[in-house]
Structure 1
């Protein structure tokens, strides 16, 4: 389901519950602050939970960090990011958020500007490889269904009309057009506001061409990132859904998304020690994941998400 189409219902829920929300929410936010520590110099694994309306995105980040640590990746090689939940989200997924609290206390805000800056620092350090996992909501456009004429004709409207992943710790929870436009007019660079295919490709192209890069995007419409990422040398990875399809499990209740749960399980089976992510057989992993996702979605009567293999374009002869 499109997150933009869900905004009226979400907004109404927030308005109805905001004043009466339990104090436990305030305590949870206070006890799980965002990290303000400098990015570790050796960081080259970036685990990002972008959405703020369900706990399953954060659960995928926590599970992968634990898995990678057990396979030899050191704590200072991993950077994690998350978006603190809204009051309504905490109310619906309270038990899961509480279980995750200890795993999130040293994670940075899932804001595009922070992630972009950290990727730039990692690129400057020339790491042995780069791994980026993002689990969140994806949109084919940030423009609302009924676009106000003044917004459509604004000089920076093109910033909104592109594929994007929500990083909800950013301005306007990462996808509200008015907040993003206001930040842009105040001087913020577009690449600090929208987690778009172009932004991610530019960040990855700052690394040496020979550096292996693995990117996994769990989000609706994430396949829309494929053309831009194909221009990044040495890249391989996965997207949870074709550019015109949605992924599933992004609702309160499930511990993880359908794609995320299957991917992490397959990764655990295939990953050796030390964790050499770039040397995995990503084509074989993709085929197995594609088959399992298809079966899981069929069992739920869902429209197939059609996961996508992300890969650099072959060099011209």
Structure 2
């Protein structure tokens, strides 16, 4: 072979090898980055702090905006005087696909999420029970995730429908995706139930949340905000909890919006957090806040935002318990 041709061939081989290595590294980039992210942000296993009475729960695992909302609210509440040991946060590790789509946002959030517990129904329920026994000055619960009118799939298999305890699936629910079957998969939930798990540890339902809130003293102010589709389905059950006020992002038969890759927060979450920041002067003022006025402003802004996108209105719901007789 002519020396010049030999040098050209060698250069081509080197270039091909370099390109192949680069492609291999790119191909491995997402899984390796995802694995490193999981190692960087482990779930907390520490006991619930003695003074915890603010619970911020990001339940969905397919977009980063849920996690962004609880990080933003924790920062706001700390600025208003809530101490770090008064706040407990929960989140769900993203799927690989979710991490790929919202990678930059998840990486920005990593340091803030490092001390959070898994968004698992059993853990949240247990922590609420612990807080109730300690009789805190007030309770603030913010849950942002996907909401479902029913956990039953559209084409319900007969064996699933006829299985013992299948009724636990046919109810409103909020997804806490760090739980069995990512918190919403009926087959996994039923398998966990057959293995002995309690229904209240599997499904974040109106009945479960009501029981958890009723464990708090009647005089304890309870603020509950549910950012999820169909979250208004919780309203009838929560109406029997004394001292409760709050908001749900959508009527029982409506969806909320902004639960997609890209936006930093959901439509409801972004507007609510901004309005709360404008009205809240100090942490202890949370129970005394004019929640009806906040709801009216929130409803108006959400209606305008949804109209600009030509979507079916979500119709947020004002949550308020009936006065004690």
Please state which band the TM-score falls in when normalised by the shorter chain: over 0.9
Counterpart of 2:310 in structure 1 is: 301
Structure 1 gaps, min length 5: 1-17
> Within 5 Å, which residues of 2 pair with 1:21-40?
21-40=30-49
What's the counterpart of residue 102 of structure 1? 111
Q: 1:272 corresponds to which residue?
A: 281
Alignment match of 2:142 (pick from 116, 126, 133): 133
Report the secondary structure of 1:279's partner residue: coil
Deviation at 1:88, TM superposition (A): 0.1
The answer to whether the Cα contact below 8 Å between 1:49 and 1:110 also exists between their aligned partners in 2 is yes
Q: How does 1:1-317 map to 2 (within 5 A)?
A: 21-316=30-325
CA–CA distance in structure 2, aligned partners of residues 102 and 297 of structure 1 = 33
Q: Distance in 2 between matches of 1:68 and 1:248?
A: 24
Q: TM-score, normalised by structure 2?
A: 0.91
Aligned 8 A contact 1:68 1:275 in 2:
no
* Whole-angstrom CA distance in 1 between matches of 2:252 and 2:29: 39
| 1:144-177 CA distance string (max 9 Å, x none) | 0000000011111100000000000000000000
The whole-number CA distance in structure 2 between the counterparts of 1:20 and 1:151 is 40
Offset at residue 20 of structure 1 (A): 8.2
CA distance in structure 2 between the partners assigned to 1:307 and 1:165 by the alignment = 16
TM-score, normalization by structure 1 = 0.93
CA distance in 2, matches of 1:273, 1:199: 30
Partners of 1:178 and 1:279 lie apart in 2 by: 43
Aligned partner of 2:20 in structure 1 is none
Q: CA deviation at 1:276?
A: 1.9
RMSD of equivalent CA atoms: 1.1
Pick which of 38-47 and 271-280 moved more. 271-280
- Looking at structure 2, the residues matched to 274 and 164 of structure 1 have their Cα atoms a distance apart, in angstroms, of 29
Taking structure 1 as reference, are residues 113 and 225 closer, same or farther at Cα in structure 2, changes over 3 Å only? same
Q: Please identify the structure whose Cα radius of gyration is greater.
A: 2
Q: 1:273 to 1:26 in 2, by over 3 A?
A: same
- Alpha-carbon separation, structure 2, partners of 1:145 and 1:168: 20
